[in-house]
A and B are shown apart, each in its own frame.
Chain A
Amino acid sequence: MVESIITFRNVTKKYKDTVILENINFELKKGRFYTLLGPSGCGKTTTLSLIAGFTDESSGDILMNGQKINHIPANKRKINTVFQDYALFPHLNVFDNIAFGLKIKKKSKNEINEKVTEALKMVRLPGFGDREISEMSGGQKQRVAIARALVNEPEVLLLDEPLSALDMKLRKEMQYELRELQKRLGITFIFVTHDQEEALAMSDEIFVMNHGEIIQRGTPTAIYDEPLNKFVADFIGESNIIEGTMIADGKVKFVGKTFECVDGGMNANELIEVVLRPEDIEVTESQKGKVVGTVISQLFRGVHYEIVCTDIDGNEWKIRSTKKVEVGASVGLNFEPEAIHIMRANESEAEFYQRLEKYQGS
């Protein structure tokens, strides 16, 4: 049993009368990589501010290592933050920015020198210590901010969209490096992003948020494969969302046909929505497909083609395939029973997981 490090109990945050975070509950384990994922304005930064202690909760309790920390000021919490807008000190150079926390803690000059040099190496900016902040690029600034936080060896590191200003290549590299770093140091990371790919690639566990609430939490695969509702399905990667009816356990009807599936536990003939991931759909010859469609567009995306088809009823299908097709050609679309994900309307996270467990466990 891994110890929990940060716990939220019924935490609500209001500004004046506007509710920003509504009754948030979670328990984070030591040494894991968590991601808060959600659209702009959903309350990600606010959640981090509460953990770091920059703002006070309106109600509820925040615990660290089992101790209530509601009234412990930010400078006494063993938590460091990488801010969304870097927030580097403009009057200090790179070295002094990184050394700030160590100087406050009155570390010796040698130790400061050693640790800052090491931190600069870690974020791949060796020899940049003498630079002024104004002489650094956006990506370099972000790495200085990461070094400035990590050099204090916190128990929890909060990262507020730390990679958003980087170009694709550097971003991918930093994702990998951050993840490696987290595993090596064994620090709990709470990472904020609105990029689902980033969240899926890095996290042990993802919290999908919207409008100040946690909509769904789970491992990347769990969230990707079993999205709770249309919002999560849409937010986590592209998907085909089709209305349908649950005929019986393991039998679902959509686009006028009945298919086998692995879901169940719903009422007979309940109206549901089906999620089909574009990469779970296979393109074959038209007579071999479960559904027949006509290719209306094809876009080369580097690793794969993004194909859009319409079936006889006019439904649009998004498909991701490594095979090339002809625009205007008639093709067959195939998918496994496991690829069909069923979503009920207005099902809560708890009900969802309960049903999943009950049906799949039986």
Chain B
Amino acid sequence: MKTRGLYFSSYVLWLIFFVLAPVALILYQSFIGINGHFTIDNYENFFKVSAYLQMTFNSVLYAALITLITLLVSYPTAYFLTKTKYKQLWLMLVILPTWINILLKAYAFIGIFSQSGPANNFLEWIGLGSHQLLFTNASFMLVAAYIQLPFMILPIFNAIDDLDESLINVSHDLGANGFQTFWNVTFPLTLNGIKSGVQVVFIPSLSLFMLTRLIGGNKVITLGTAIEENFLVTQDWGMGSTIGVILIVTMILIMFLTGEKKRRRR
């Protein structure tokens, strides 16, 4: 009982110092103007200046594209992984890259996509000639999708793996072929796995800033980039915090939208 209380209080402390306090500070900062007084100018600015709205739009658009690419790759991958003989081992191999620091992976891709890197060598070898690959939107999305892949595969894999085998049998029994079974049974019953995957991929993708610079060459300015700029370059902490708050609200909104809902009744 005593040790449980100890664990619990340390968890509460952790929550207060590393989650609640920072959020409260950001919220407080977002109402502080450049001159140090309490104001709602920052929020007014955000919704008036078209650059910020453009950034918000870009963030959502690119996060959505990255999520879509990840999903399109992950679902079939997860599906076939569940059918393999040593599925846990294969899953482990898929998850392994998440242990590598994101910066290391980003630098690895800089190497691969550079003018004389393996990607361009390959293009030349098949006769397409070398191209500018790095610092393009396409490469940014590709690398972001690559990094997010395991987080999408895992929940979908679990959902498909948990699917009751006899439901598939019933579907065949009732005359459905492979595709009909997938569309009417497997897909709807693994929708929750997809939702969790979308959550864990879409939300962090909103605030990517390292990759937008290192791989995307800052062609796309997302909210994440804007926060970094405001804090580290222009030192306008108030504005940076405001964007942060808006990002947090967006995330909560998306979590709410993709979260488990009670099934509608007819």
* Chain A contact residues, CB within 8 Å of chain B: 49, 52-54, 73-75, 79-81, 83, 85, 87, 89-91, 93, 100-101, 104-105, 130, 132, 148-149, 152
Contacts and interface: CB of A to CB of B under 8 A. Distances in A.
Given A87-B164, A87-B170, A130-B266, A101 B188 contact: no
Sort A-B residue pairs by CB-CB distance and give the 8 closest, nearest first.
A101-B174, A74-B172, A87-B166, A75-B172, A87-B170, A104-B175, A91-B188, A54-B169
B3 interface: no
Interface in B157-196: 164, 166-167, 169-177, 180, 184-185, 188-189
B175 A89 contact: no
Contacts of B166: 83, 85, 87
A87 B164 CA distance: 8
Given A87-B164, A93-B266, A130-B266, A73 B172 contact: yes
B263 interface: yes
11 contacts: A52-B169, A54-B169, A54-B173, A74-B173, A83-B169, A87-B167, A100-B171, A100-B176, A101-B174, A101-B175, A104-B176
Interface in B23-65: none
Nearest to B177: A75
Interface string B137-168: 00000000000000000000000000010110
A204 B174 CA distance: 26
Nearest to A81: B173
Interface in B205-234: none
- Interface residues on chain B, size class: 20 to 34
Interface centre among B184, B188, B189, by most chain A C-beta atoms within 10 angstroms, is: B184
Interface in B56-102: none
Interface centre among B169, B263, B265, B266, by most chain A C-beta atoms within 10 angstroms, is: B169
B176 A75 contact: yes
Nearest to A99: B174
A53 B184 CA distance: 20
A104 B172 contact: no
B169 A100 contact: no
Given A89-B185, A100-B184, A104-B180, A54 B172 contact: yes
B167 A75 contact: no
A75 B173 contact: yes
A104 B189 contact: no
Contacts of A49: 169
Interface string B253-266: 00000000001011
Contacts of A80: 173-174
Contacts of A149: 173-174
Given A93-B266, A132-B263, A74 B169 contact: yes
Given A73-B172, A74-B173, A132-B263, 12 more contacts: A52-B173, A75-B177, A79-B173, A81-B173, A83-B170, A87-B166, A87-B170, A89-B170, A89-B185, A90-B189, A91-B189, A148-B170
A90 B170 CA distance: 12
Nearest to A49: B169
Nearest to B185: A89
B262 to A, nearest CB: 10
B10 to A, nearest CB: 38
A339 B173 CA distance: 45
Nearest to B188: A91
Nearest to A54: B169
B170 to A, nearest CB: 5
Nearest to A132: B263
A87 B175 contact: no
A152 B188 contact: no
A148 B170 CA distance: 10
A350 to B, nearest CB: 34
B164 to A, nearest CB: 7
Contacts of A101: 174-175
Contacts of A89: 167, 170, 185, 189
A280 B26 CA distance: 88
A53 B174 CA distance: 12
A75 B175 contact: yes
A49 B93 CA distance: 35
Contacts of B176: 75, 100, 104
Interface string B90-124: 00000000000000000000000000000000000
B27 to A, nearest CB: 40
A149 B174 CA distance: 7
A148 B188 contact: no
A148 B167 contact: no
B182 to A, nearest CB: 13
A73 B175 CA distance: 10
Contacts of A52: 169, 173
A318 B154 CA distance: 61
Contacts of A152: 174-175
Nearest to A129: B266
A89 B186 CA distance: 10
Contacts of B175: 75, 101, 104-105, 152
